[in-house]
Amino acid sequence: MDPELTIGALSARSGVASSALRFYEARGLIQATRTTAGQRRYPRSTLRRVAFVRVAQQVGLSLTEIRQALASLPESRTPTAEDWRMLATSWRPRLDRRIALLQGLRDRLDTCIGCGCLSLGLCQLANPDDVAAHRGPGPQYIAGR
């Protein structure tokens, strides 16, 4: 028996609903082979791929950005630990930036919010891009975008 996973198994193991997995596939985040009956079968490595997606979401990336990140993995062969390590490494700057943002926020929050500079425009905190307006429509989630 080869270790391929059904969608149910992948769902159970990853904690991600089957419907979400199909959605990820539609979005190009994961792929599946099909049985003759048309059912999806996932290689074990998909588990790691899904894990990466969830972690990336927690960092604040959109699925589109995550898809782009995953695009750096090899299509032809199963990604090795080294492949993953490289992806993770290429990510650190982003993570670092996000952490620095929050730390700056934390460190300046009590002084800044009390001093009056939080009247916007003067303070980096509230208007970090200087042009906070026209960021495009739709929900804007969190910073770093």
Partner DNA sequence: CCTTGACTTCAAGTTAACTTCAACTCGTAG
Partner DNA sequence: CTACGAGTTGAAGTTAACTTGAAGTCAAGG
**Residues lying near its own copies in the complex (CB under 8 A):** 13-17, 44, 47-48, 50-52, 54-55, 57-60, 81-82, 84-85, 87-89, 91-92, 95-96, 98-99, 101-103, 105-106, 109-110, 113-116, 118-121, 123, 125-128, 131-133, 139-143
3 binds DNA (CB under 7 A): no
CB 135 to DNA: min, Å = 8
105 binds DNA (CB under 7 A): no
Q: Which of 3, 38, 74, 93: binder of DNA (CB under 7 A)?
A: 38
> CA-CA distances (angstroms) from residue 116 to 112, 123, 128, 132?
7, 9, 16, 19
d(CA 143, CA 145): 5
CB 2 to DNA: min, Å = 15
d(CA 57, CA 61): 5
Q: Which residues bind DNA (CB under 7 A)?
A: 6-9, 17-20, 22-24, 32, 36-40, 57, 62-64, 137-140
